[in-house]
Structure 1
Amino acid sequence: MNADPSFAHSPTAPPPGAKAITLPGGTSLWLLPQRAVWWPAARAAFVADVHFGKAATFRRAGQPVPHGTTADNLARLDEVLAVTGAEHLVFLGDFLHARSGAADALWQQLQPWREGQAAVRMTLVRGNHDVHAGDPPEALGITLVDEPWQPMEGVEVLACHHPHSVAGATVLAGHLHPTATLYGLARDSVRLPCFAWTPGLVVLPAFGAFTGSAVDQLPPGTLRFVVAGAQVRRL
């Protein structure tokens, strides 16, 4: 594999605010400000770590967390599909947060949304939270697979939840909830979600509206692309 990631310019118009990257072998991906990856050749969009039901799980534990996160997540998924025209939506793990959050109220929101996007094929690559929370209902029409999973035959791009190396392939993953801290004047700082890219691995930011971020576990030399409002920008 080529040891140096390279940038690309798509021959077609990119989604607004997106940043293009080219993988070894010539596969073009777009990093979207909606915290998703768009793979035009596969007509597929990828998101990671939605964590549906997380806020409800916290409320059951007596924590004063906000309402409306499910509606926010669904509205932003609709935006990803509208911006890309994707025919396939791939969840890179942690679709659900916990079994306690997988309540009827959640399915009553997800089912109408899924019916409204019935033309879109959907696949969930199970993550660590999905293993404990259980699979979503069959009525949602989401295909369930385990990692590593190959979305497009003949192209060495693998969909996973956990970041890891696979010889000769590029892995799209989540799990780490990567962020980058930007510093300004007078000790000001802001933490923004980011994409992380090293040879053979692209880690997506957490998509969910109530997910937080983890301690930085990215290796030295990782290229970071921050989601700054409606733009993706390379640091």
Structure 2
Amino acid sequence: MTQNIIIQNQNFALHPLGGIFWEEKSMLLISDVHLGKVAHFRKFGAAVPRKAIHKNYILLDKIVADFNPFQICFLGDLFHSSLNKEWELFENWVAKTPAEIVLISGNHDIISPHKFDQLGIPILQELILNDFLLTHHPEEREGLFNFCGHIHPAIKLKGFGRQNLRLSCFFKSKKQLIFPAFGEFTGTYTLKPKKGDEVFAIVEDEVVKI
């Protein structure tokens, strides 16, 4: 179940897979997919099942089908590392996905821009739309609301006794919203909300405001 929020008079739907749909732009925003990470681990001997390689593409298909966006904007770290066998899977996914795709470059995006150009995918350092600044790393800029990734935010919840639960989340402050990592096997970083912050945790198939 999605969570609908309004930021600067624009409507956004937070999806439990970790993406956000910008209704007025018909744009799906996704961060930190880290495609190729499983293949990268397997190359260096990690015992990760081969079928795990396909999991991200299944999740991408699901979120795209839920919104049918005109455009998909990846907020950096689309691929985890250098070119590997998973690039062919990505080529196939792009070919069957009708939406336009744009990539905001992240620190892990080291694959040659020429490869993306062949697929019709522009690579940008940032993108400004209306009063929104789309980046990979969190940034603060006067007059703009920042959508970003990189951090892989999570929230730690304490229950009765010594029970602790850590959940991936959308982490919103006054002028910024940090996306959770979309990809599998990405890890998280626990953030502590301050007064005025809003946290939208991903709990199974729901986005829940904490």
Tell me the TM-score normalized by structure 2. Answer: 0.92
Deviations 1:116-159 (A, max 9, x none): 11x210000001111x3443443332221112x12x4xx11121
The aligned counterpart of 1:47 is 30
The aligned counterpart of 1:58 is 41
The aligned counterpart of 1:10 is none
After TM superposition, what 4+ stretches of structure 1 lie above 6 angstroms from structure 2? none
Aligned length: 208
Deviations 1:81-120 (A, max 9, x none): 1111211010000011111xx21x2122112211111x21
CA contact (8 A) 1:47 1:90 kept: yes
User: Matched residues in 2 for 1:35 and 1:168: separation?
Assistant: 26
The residue type equivalent to 1:189 in the other structure is N
1:109 partnered with 2:89 = yes
The aligned counterpart of 1:13 is none
The aligned counterpart of 1:223 is 198
User: Matched residues in 2 for 1:207 and 1:125: separation?
Assistant: 15
Identity %: 29
CA contact (8 A) 2:33 2:78 kept: yes
Gap regions ≥5 residues in structure 2: none
1:172 partnered with 2:151 = no
Q: Matches of residues 83-232 of structure 1 in structure 2 within 5 Å?
A: 83-99=66-82, 102-103=83-84, 105-117=85-97, 119-130=98-109, 132-135=110-113, 136-147=115-126, 149-150=127-128, 152=129, 155-216=130-191, 220-221=194-195, 222-232=197-207
CA contact (8 A) 2:170 2:199 kept: yes
Gap regions ≥5 residues in structure 1: 1-16
Q: Which of these residues, 4, 20, 38, is aligned with residue 4 of structure 2?
A: 20
Please tell me the root mean square deviation across aligned C-alpha atoms, in Å: 1.7
Say which SS state the counterpart of residue 48 (structure 2) adopts.
Answer: coil
Tell me the TM-score normalized by structure 1. Answer: 0.82
Classify 1:43/1:161 alpha carbon distance in 2 versus 1 (closer, same or farther; 3 Å).
Answer: same
1:82 partnered with 2:65 = yes
Name the structure with the higher strand share: 2
CA contact (8 A) 2:3 2:207 kept: yes
CA contact (8 A) 1:97 1:133 kept: no
* Deviation larger for 32-41 or 108-117: 108-117
Deviations 1:41-82 (A, max 9, x none): 000000000011112222222222333333111111111111
